[in-house]
Amino acid sequence: MKFSSTVVTRVIETEMPLLDPAELYPDSTPEILAREAHWLMPRFQCPETQKLILTMQGFVLESHGKTILVDTCVGDCKHRARPLFDNQRWGWLDRFRAAGFDPEGVDIVLSTHLHVDHVGWNTMRDDTGQWRPTFPNARYLFTRPEVGFWTGPAGGALLPRTGDYIADSVLPIFEAGLADVVEMDHRINPEIRLLPTPGHSPGHVCVEVGCGQDLLVIAGDILHTVLQCAYPQWSTRFCADAAASRETRIRFLQTYADTETLVAPAHFPSPGVGRIRSEGAAFRFVFDTQAR
């Protein structure tokens, strides 16, 4: 995909049934899900397991002579409390290389936020068993509120539910001297800028790519599944501030509804990119079948 002069490539780690709707959305009910089953299944919800289908992926931006990676997925060989993420061997780095990219050629790694499924490939083990930066020549960008939260007591109290991914996937970047803490409206170049979208986490950002009307928004976790278009008031159990997340999400949907801006949420199934359309008091997501 190309937006202005920036080329965007999705690199998928996995795409599979992952979470029960009630685990993700506390406001969901069996009655609501039964009512929506005719369009949820089988593309967005697995009929056999009833789990919602989510994608783990990163986005590579080639822009103004730089290679920029947005989010680094779950990662391999890392101890995690969630069994599905624990000591995985999904091989995302192999797919990254197969797509034509070299870890040593990445200039910037940007985290939309510091959740376990967005920072895993920030690091990998070296021959001595230590975690080292996977992209040794890159500057890693983290937003200031996000770093403050996850390295403080409030964020630390949440880590037991996942495993301490901050210790193995974030702190080694600081120890290597490769971290840059930036503001939530940071601009990387004339075609790539951050959009503050707090709520899911305190320093969550989206990434706007392109110029003028030729735009893509990499939306991080402002939307986890298409259900949040139909039910924009639903925040997830993983939102740090459910009310702020709801406000940010509804504002985001209203801003981009019925425009030509393409939106790429982190976890939507392939092709993963589409446009937001108004549908009564709610919204729907129309996938762009030409996107790859």
pTM: 0.96
* pLDDT band at residue 290 under the 50/70/90 scheme: confident
Residue 90 in domain: yes
Helix (H) or strand (E) holding 255: helix 242-256
* Any domain includes 20: yes
Confirm whether 227 is domain-assigned. Answer: yes
Smallest CA-to-CA distance from 283 within 259, 260, 253 is with: 253
Best CA proximity match to 204, nearest among 217, 219, 191, 189: 219
DSSP state letter for 71: -
Mean pLDDT of all residues in 268-286: 96
Coil, helix or strand for 234?
Answer: coil
Do you know the residue count of the chain?
Answer: 292
User: Is 292 among the domain residues?
Assistant: no
Mean pLDDT of 8-23: 97
Q: Which domain holds residue 235?
A: 2-287
Residue 265 lies in a domain: yes
Give kind and range of the element (H or E) at residue 33: helix 30-40
- Both tokens of 48, joined, read 């056999």
Tens of pLDDT, residues 30-53: 999 999 999 999 999 999 999 999
- The total domain count for the chain is 1
Q: Residue 152: inside a domain, yes or no? A: yes
**Domain-located, residue 165:** yes
Burial degree of 120 (CB within 10 A; 0-12, 13-18, 19+): buried
pLDDT score for 206: 98
For 128, other C-beta atoms within 10 Å of its C-beta total: 6
The CATH code of the domain that includes 279 is 3.60.15.10
* Cα–Cα distance list, 184 to 104, 260, 291 (Å): 26, 24, 28
